[in-house]
Structure 1
Amino acid sequence: MAVRSDPLDELVVPDGTEAKEVALETDGDVLVGARSSVEFGVRGRNVLAGENVEFGGEIEADGDCRLDMWCDVAENVLVGQDAYIGERVHIAGELKVAGDLDIGDDVDIEEGFEANGWIVIRNPMPTIVLLFVYLKHLLVVGEEETAQRLISELVDEDGEEPETEPLVIPRNATVSDDAWRVSTPARIGDDCRLHGNVRAESIDVGADCNIFGSLRARGDITVGPKTRIHGDLTTRNGDVTIAEDARILGDVSCRALELGPEAEIDGTIRANGEITMGTTKREDE
């Protein structure tokens, strides 16, 4: 995971992420910023959520799970290692922890909890807030190597570079089957399958994706090779780039448009600027 000035300044959907009917599934970690609403459940390695995050389904973490204060989970929380639950968290189902449980005051777990390790009742420090404040301090004083080492230790206990980058949902985001709404740039990796319209500052979609919804951004929109967008592409002030063999099942509205070889648009094109079309190697010959 690369160090940036703010670890939550971008929506990041890693390669291979799939939005199923009940959950977002990824092989890596899941980081959710404060005051966000995730109407799915989530399944990942480590799950970390800031203050006042709402989850509409079950949380499954193969590793650790950290929920800061005032989080709300509509179903069960199942944790493969340790759990850190902040004060006034509400879990509508049950909490099962394979390791240790660190739990704050006024936590409401409707169907009870169990832990195989130590149970400590206190107010765990808001881990997401502490992490980001500390990272910002390290970057301000020029300790980029220390910041990168801290992130590596958090996302992989062996200190090795993780195979999959985290699924990152910024602060104040809304993620649902209807729409993914963020006020930051959005980056979607390769081989992803998502349901819902994507609304962001700018949008970059990787290769071989299927997105069942429209893309709308203030800035540029990029669609990778062999990706299918089942909806419109609209940008207020940016350009649209559609790579080779991608297909847009809707209209495209933009400033300038670049079409790769064999890219298809099934709807209407509205471009204020230049439209350029790539050619195949055979056509170039």
Structure 2
Amino acid sequence: MAIGRDPLDELVVPDGTEAKEVALETDGDVLVGARSSVEFGVRGRNVIAGERVEFGGDIEADGDCRLDMWCDVADNVLVGQDAYIGERVHIGGQLKVAGDLDIGDDVDIEEGFEANGWIVIRNPMPTVVLLFVYLKHLLLIGEEDTAQRLISELVDEQDEVPTIEPLVIPRNATVGDDAWRVSTPARIGDECRLHGNVRAESIDVGAASNVFGSLRARGDVTVGEGSRIHGDLTTRRGDVTVANGARILGDVSCGDLELGPDAEVDGTIRADGEITMGTSKRERE
């Protein structure tokens, strides 16, 4: 990711993400921008949500979980390491934390909470700040060797964790079984399985993915090799590229249309510009 770029200026669905009946599941982190609504639960490594985010199911984080103030979780929050819960957060089920719990004022947890580590009730402090304060304390009391060991352990731990692109939901987004609505570009990775119509500024679908819904964008739309779109594909002022072996099970409406070899469109094509068709494997033989 480029330095200085806002990480929440794009909907990013990483490779292998699956939208099941009750949850979005990914192997990496989950980042949700402020004032967004996620009608599913979420399952990932670390889960971080901005102010006033709503979750329609459980949150399951293998690592840390941070919920900013005024977040609302319909069901349980299960955290494998540490949790940071902001002021006036509402949790409709239980909060279970395997590590430390840092919790703000006026938090409503309907079915109670438990934590195996320290419990601190105050305005939650970000992990980086906590580590900085702890390191500063060690140095002040002359424990330079202990501080150095802590830094080394943190660096070694980071090196062991594989780099996995996070699932990113931009600010003011709505994500659900019916539709994924964002005002930013949307990028869906390879081998994903999503339910719902996708509405975005532009849309890029990777290879071998299934989207059970339509795609609609203001700009360009690209569908990767072997992917299936179970609905219409529409763009207001952009072009459409359908790669080799991809299939659109609906109508296509766009400016220019490029169809790769063995690409299929089951419905009607409405293109204001040029239509370019690749040579299929059968024709080459």
Q: TM-score range by the shorter chain?
A: 0.7 to 0.9
Q: Does the 8 Å contact 1:68/1:127 carry over to 2?
A: no
Tell me by how many angstroms 1:47 deviates: 0.2
- Pick which of 2-11 and 173-182 moved more: 2-11
Does the C-alpha gap of structure 1 residues 3 and 159 become closer, same or farther in structure 2, counting only changes over 3 Å? Answer: farther
Partner of 1:102: 102
Matched letter for residue 53 of structure 1? V
Tell me by how many angstroms 1:164 deviates: 1.8
Partner of 1:244: 244
Matched letter for residue 15 of structure 1? D
Identity rate, percent:
86
Stretches of structure 2 lacking an aligned partner (at least 5 in a row): 129-153
Give the alignment's TM-score, normalised by structure 2. Answer: 0.87
Rounded to whole Å, the distance in 1 between the matches of 2:250 and 2:212 is 11
Partner of 1:132: none
CA deviations on 1:4-63 (whole Å, 9 max, x unpaired) are 521101000000000000000000000000000000000000000000000000000000
Partner of 2:133: none
Tell me by how many angstroms 1:279 deviates: 1.1
Rounded to whole Å, the distance in 2 between the matches of 1:127 and 1:70 is 19
Aligned residue pairs, count? 260
Rounded to whole Å, the distance in 2 between the matches of 1:25 and 1:235 is 28
For 1:1-285, list aligned pairs within 5 A: 3-125=3-125, 157-159=157-159, 162-280=162-280, 283=283
Does the C-alpha gap of structure 1 residues 26 and 2 become closer, same or farther in structure 2, counting only changes over 3 Å? Answer: farther
Rounded to whole Å, the distance in 2 between the matches of 1:163 and 1:248 is 32
Rounded to whole Å, the distance in 1 between the matches of 2:125 and 2:183 is 27
Give the alignment's TM-score, normalised by structure 1. Answer: 0.87
Q: Does the 8 Å contact 2:257/2:274 carry over to 1?
A: yes
Tell me by how many angstroms 1:283 deviates: 4.2
Q: Does the 8 Å contact 1:86/1:126 carry over to 2?
A: no
Q: Does the 8 Å contact 1:69/1:126 carry over to 2?
A: no
Rounded to whole Å, the distance in 2 between the matches of 1:127 and 1:157 is 15
Rounded to whole Å, the distance in 2 between the matches of 1:266 and 1:251 is 7
Rounded to whole Å, the distance in 2 between the matches of 1:70 and 1:282 is 58
Partner of 1:138: none
Partner of 2:148: none
Rounded to whole Å, the distance in 2 between the matches of 1:161 and 1:10 is 24
Rounded to whole Å, the distance in 1 between the matches of 2:127 and 2:265 is 45
